[in-house]
Homo-oligomer: A and B are copies of this chain.
Amino acid sequence: MTAHPATQSIDPETLIAGLAREGRAAQRQLAAMSSDARAHALTLAAQRLRDDSAAILAANAKDLEAGRENGLSPAMLDRLALDEDRLSSIAAGVEAVANLPDPVGEVIGSDERPNGLKLSRVRVPIGTIGIIYESRPNVTADAAALCVRAGNAALLRGGSEAVHSNHAILAALTAGLEAGGVPGAAVQLIPTQDRAAVGAMLTAAGLIDMIVPRGGKSLVARVQSDARVPVLAHLDGINHTYVHAAADPAMAKEIALNAKLRRTGICGAMETLLIDAGFTEARDLVTALIEAGCELRGDERIQALDERVTLASANDWDTEYLDAVLSVAMVDGMDQALAHIARHSSAHTDVIITSDDAAAEQFLIEVDSAIVMHNASSQFADGGEFGLGAEIGIATGRLHARGPVALEGLTTYKWLVRGSGQARP
């Protein structure tokens, strides 16, 4: 199931254009299927992932062996590794997506004009979605399932370290989907690890309708900088939690510890804590974070609270640590908190902790991020936690979709106009 040697000699633009055209043709058939038929095909694909577990785990073992030879870090090997449990949860994820309500066909507005024209807007698939990802082979199944559920073709470009796993997962998925009547080309894996193929995807305007990068910051930065196709992504999660003067101290401590330390490597983790000068339990909060194992980099007023706080550099306020490290600033009231966030937030998730409802509403209105929370941990910034069932990614751009993006974000709409012979005066 690795790339056919012939594909290696085609230039990347021609390769991508050919795959995209096959995907487009398959997408039209997919879009013409009923929602139930798409869902059923996905349940068959999930079953096939379970049935083919031996082949998938054997392919994964090859990737792991190559990874060890190539000196991948233990963390990368862990991201790459599959076992029966992980594979079973990948299959369950595909089934869960099959059971999500289908946004395609939903009427999102209708109107009748004085001249009798009946207008409606109806959700339709976007078309062909390019997914560019790194070492986690589960993305192959997760992303493909979301695309297919909403009637889209998926063009997948996984990382070279997971090439055997990805091909084996795709083979199982495709076999299940085809058994359910979905054309095989609805989900395709780019059959080369040539980096130029990524460049060709990024510039395939008109052939690929949207690109979703899934991976580290350097991947996302490259995609955002080079893409001529619209990109749905977030580069950073520089998330702030503002402990307002009227915050409940116990709640502030619990949420801050959770937001920073529950999992430090996810994009919803808190990276900067803003403590109001009027919050009387600041010292206790700072000490609790340090004693929970977090390194604190603070301004001078925060340093004065605990000698273990190091002095933050200017750069720290714009850094996503993804680790047990936290920037902490003291602010003099709401306006200073809002100004700090406006300047340094990556517009992912920002939080206020307060018992003052008016302050909370001001914060919710004025902070211009994809997700703004009151009295909750930023680690809830996740499609599953938001009830979306799954997510293709989290977006911090301003157009199309923001925050956790799931099926609805994989659709667009068209206008339907039903007349009875109207000519325009």
Which residues of A are interface residues toward B (Cβ below 8 A)?
A: 28, 31-32, 111, 113, 117, 119, 124, 126-127, 209-210, 230, 248, 251, 254-255, 257-259, 262, 342, 360, 364-366, 368-377, 379-380, 385-387, 397-400, 402-404, 412-424
Contacts and interface: CB of A to CB of B under 8 A. Distances in A.
Contact of A417 (B255, B257, B365, B372): B372
Quick one: copies of this chain in the complex?
A: 2
Nearest to A114: B387
Contact of A370 (B248, B254, B255, B414): B414
A424 B379 contact: yes
Contacts of A414: 368-372, 402-403
Nearest to A420: B375
A288 to B, nearest CB: 13
A376 B371 CA distance: 42
Contacts of A209: 398-399
17 contacts: A28-B368, A31-B368, A111-B387, A117-B385, A209-B399, A210-B398, A262-B423, A262-B424, A370-B414, A371-B415, A372-B417, A373-B416, A374-B419, A375-B418, A376-B417, A376-B419, A385-B424
A39 to B, nearest CB: 19
B424 A119 contact: no
Nearest to A109: B408
Given A377-B422, A385-B113, A402 B412 contact: yes
A415 B372 contact: yes
B117 A399 contact: no
A124 B368 contact: yes
Contacts of A397: 230
The 8 nearest A-B residue pairs measured at CB: A376-B419, A258-B423, A373-B417, A379-B424, A375-B419, A251-B421, A400-B400, A399-B400
Nearest to A24: B342
Contacts of A255: 421-423
